[in-house]
Amino acid sequence: MAQDIVIAPSVLSANFARLGAECDDVLLAGADMIHLDVMDNHYVPNLTVGPMVCQALRDHGVEAPIDVHLMVEPVDAAIEAFAAAGASIISIHPEATRHLDRSLQLIRDLGCKAGLVLNPGTPVSVAKQVLSRLDLLLIMSVNPGFGGQAFIPYSLDKLREARTLIDEAGLPVRLEVDGGVKVHNISEVARAGADTFVVGSAIFGAPDYREVIERLRESAGQP
């Protein structure tokens, strides 16, 4: 069964000139954790932030979980760097490592929760053999690399398939979705089985973060 709803604002859509304050604001507005998109201009066609930004948020005083999505290749050195910088959850793509089981175990050995990310074209079956290594399974509902993209409709089928896989295994793996999640579609995404929602522009593009987060929770089925 799906777990309690978690709202994870993606700071990719935040004002980077005041990133610490933006994180403070969304957490005070009711967000559960901060989502950090790490891109290397190699695995994906964009370049964003490194471990110093994660460390800076911790030094700023962010105590909430930091959910790090690594879109980098190779990935093991980045796992070590972000674990040292204060990441709580580190999620990786299967295409970014030659030894997926080893990389997932490295995340856990470093004291972080481990996540696996499936791109739109990556089948859910990839997660089956390593499901016991996971704390989180992230379904990308856009192609990784840029914020503000539209939700890919067939992601709902992947979420339903992933939900069934997790439930049949009886494991407490969170099912996260990232890309194009808005107030108008989060209810459908939640019904498909997601319990953790990465939301970027829908939150940071709004004048009132608290209002949007409350509407997201309500639409997803959690008052």
Q: Which pair of tokens denotes residue 189? A: 């995404």
Active site residue 178: yes
Nearest to 85 by CA among 46, 47, 59: 59
Indicate which residue of 25, 37, 67, 195 is catalytic.
37
Distance CA 58, CA 7 (A): 19
Distance of CA 62 to the CA centre of its chain: 17
Active site residue 25: no
Task: Give, in degrees to the nearest 5, the angle at Cα 33 between 147 and 152.
Answer: 35
Indicate which residue of 25, 40, 178, 195 is catalytic.
178
Q: Which residues are catalytic?
A: 37, 178
